[in-house]
Chain A
Amino acid sequence: AAGVIQSPRHLIKEKRETATLKCYPIPRHDTVYWYQQGPGQDPQFLISFYEKMQSDKGSIPDRFSAQQFSDYHSELNMSSLELGDSALYFCASSFGLVGQETQYFGPGTRLLVL
């Protein structure tokens, strides 16, 4: 079965640079979520989109922005990168707004900021 696709899988940036992470949800899934997991930490929810509209917002820094496109893929844009942004970034997708829908996670993008 098709899974969530994230690209790139690994990314190295320098401080103050920008980065763009991409997420392609499972076909027919219309909801996308972004999570950040620092080294030794638990996943932290950043932001979610349903039908191309922002739905829920977590601990996303102001330096980060995201959007969902007409084909339901999503991009997380990160500017003025800081050392502390080094983390695994997971995208998850689900179908619809029915309560208790399962979120399916992608393999993650490992971002290293030097």
Chain B
Amino acid sequence: LAKTTQPISMDSYEGQEVNITCSHNNIATNDYITWYQQFPSQGPRFIIQGYKTKVTNEVASLFIPADRKSSTLSLPRVSLSDTAVYYCLVGDGGGADGLTFGKGTHLIIQP
């Protein structure tokens, strides 16, 4: 499984756009990039997934450059409720494989 590297923590303010970058230098051809969000004492929640270029949904955008060795999760206009741990995961997801959570990014949003 491709290893991922993310910042340990980030701070921002309400209303700002937050970008969290994840490095995955040895990503395989079949691998997708998936981001999960986790609040304290709650189960992780799927945010967004992509393979290449840009993916956007109602909560976030995911930017993936052509070499796919990194990806950036973009959260527009964050609020205090976006304070959470964000995990970047890389894998092909087949065969009911378990997810490998690395060290996520603790995002703290201040008023």
How many Å lie between the Cα of A106 and that of B45 in the bound state?
Answer: 9
Give the residue name and chain of the A residue nearest to B87 (CB).
Answer: A42
Asked if B103 is at the interface (CB within 8 A of a chain A CB), the reply is: yes
- Judged by DSSP, the binding face of A is strand
Question: What are the residues of chain A within 8 A of B43 when measuring CB–CB?
Answer: 4, 90, 92, 105-108
Asked if B65 is at the interface (CB within 8 A of a chain A CB), the reply is: no
A69-102 interface with B by 8 A CB criterion: 88, 90, 92, 94, 97-102
B93 lies within 8 A of A101 (CB) = yes
Give the residue name and chain of the B residue nearest to A3 (CB).
Answer: B43
Asked if A20 is at the interface (CB within 8 A of a chain B CB), the reply is: no
Shortest distance from the beta carbon of A41 to any chain B beta carbon, whole Å: 9
Asked if A49 is at the interface (CB within 8 A of a chain B CB), the reply is: yes
Interface size on B, residues (CB 8 A): 25
B99 lies within 8 A of A103 (CB) = yes
Give the residue name and chain of the B residue nearest to A110 (CB).
Answer: B41
Interface size on A, residues (CB 8 A): 33
Other-chain contact of B95, A43, A45, A56 (Cβ < 8 Å):
A56
A42 lies within 8 A of B97 (CB) = no
Shortest distance from the beta carbon of B65 to any chain A beta carbon, whole Å: 20
Known contacts A42-B101, A42-B103; A48/B96 CB under 8 A: yes
Question: What are the residues of chain B within 8 A of A98 when measuring CB–CB?
Answer: 94
How many Å lie between the Cα of A108 and that of B96 in the bound state?
Answer: 20
A42 lies within 8 A of B96 (CB) = no
Question: What are the residues of chain B within 8 A of A46 when measuring CB–CB?
Answer: 98
